[in-house]
Amino acid sequence: MKNNLRVERAIKNITQEELAKLVKVSRQTINAMELGKYVPSTVLALKIAKVFEKKVEDIFSLEESD
Partner 1 sequence: MNTRYLLPNYLKFPGWIILGIGVIFGIWFFAFDEVMDIKIWMPALHNSFPMDGNSGLFRLVYNSIIDEIAVTLIIIGSIFVAFSKEKTEDEYIMKIRLESLVWALIANSVIMLFCMLTLYGMSFTIATEFNLVTVLILFVIKFQIALRKANKYEK
Q: Binding residues for partner 1, per CB under 8 A?
A: 15-16, 20, 24-26, 28-29, 31-32, 35, 38, 40-41, 44
Nearer to partner 1 by Cβ, of 28 and 61: the residue is: 28
Min dist. Cβ of residue 38 to partner 1 (A): 5
The alpha carbon dihedral of 12, 22, 34, 1 has a sign of negative
Min dist. Cβ of residue 37 to partner 1 (A): 9
Min dist. Cβ of residue 17 to partner 1 (A): 9
* Distance in angstroms (rounded) separating the CA atoms of residues 58 and 3: 9
* DSSP class per residue in 22-53: HHTS-HHHHHHHHTTS-PPPHHHHHHHHHHTT
